């Protein structure tokens, strides 16, 4: 079974600074997807960014980018120019790419605090 590990229970960053959230995963599959979801205090899960394992290029969405290291099974999220609205719980998630298994496996999450 796949596992997702987020080793940082909590992180903090100053407004306008950059922060990197870590995520590692364990899988024997070669085809899969990786996601970062954000859960603000409202508890609405919001997709931040998605990476297909077959793509070597790191995904980028505005201020959010990932460092995908397939061999190392690492998928970190970098938030640039942090804003107060970025404060939330961030979850890394894995999804198998094959067959009809669409389940997401989540890490335990990293609580990000943004200091003004």
Partner 1 sequence: GAVVSQHPSRVICKSGTSVKIECRSLDFQATTMFWYRQFPKQSLMLMATSNEGSKATYEQGVEKDKFLINHASLTLSTLTVTSAHPEDSSFYICSARDDGLRGAGETQYFGPGTRLLVL
Chain positions contacting partner 1, by CB under 8 A: 33, 35, 37, 42-47, 50, 52, 91, 102-104, 106-109, 111
Number of helices (H), then strands (E), belonging to the chain: the values are 0, 12
Q: How far is the CB of 19 from partner 1 (least distance, A)?
A: 20
Q: How far is the CB of 16 from partner 1 (least distance, A)?
A: 27
What sign does the dihedral 110-13-66-46 (CA atoms) show? positive
Look at residues 59, 37, 58 and name the one whose alpha carbon lies nearest to residue 48.
Answer: 37
- Torsion angle in degrees (nearest 10) through CA of 90, 94, 107, 21: -40
Q: How far is the CB of 115 from partner 1 (least distance, A)?
A: 20
**Residue 102 or residue 116: which is nearer to partner 1 going by CB?**
102
Q: How far is the CB of 42 from partner 1 (least distance, A)?
A: 7
Dig out the tokens for 99 from the structure: 């067959």
Q: How many other CB atoms are there within 10 angstroms of residue 54's CB atom?
A: 11
């Amino acid at each position: 079974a796949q596992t997702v590990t987020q080793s940082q229970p909590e992180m903090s960053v100053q407004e306008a600074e950059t922060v990197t959230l870590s995520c590692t995963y364990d899988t024997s599959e070669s085809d899969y997807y990786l996601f970062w979801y954000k859960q603000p205090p409202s508890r609405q899960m919001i997709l931040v960014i998605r990476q297909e394992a077959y793509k070597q290029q790191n995904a980028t969405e505005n201020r959010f980018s990932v460092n995908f290291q397939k061999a190392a099974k690492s998928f970190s999220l970098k938030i640039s120019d942090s804003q107060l609205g970025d404060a939330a719980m961030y979850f890394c998630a894995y999804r198998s790419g094959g067959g009809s298994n669409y389940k997401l496996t989540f890490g335990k999450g990293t609580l990000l605090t943004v200091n003004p």
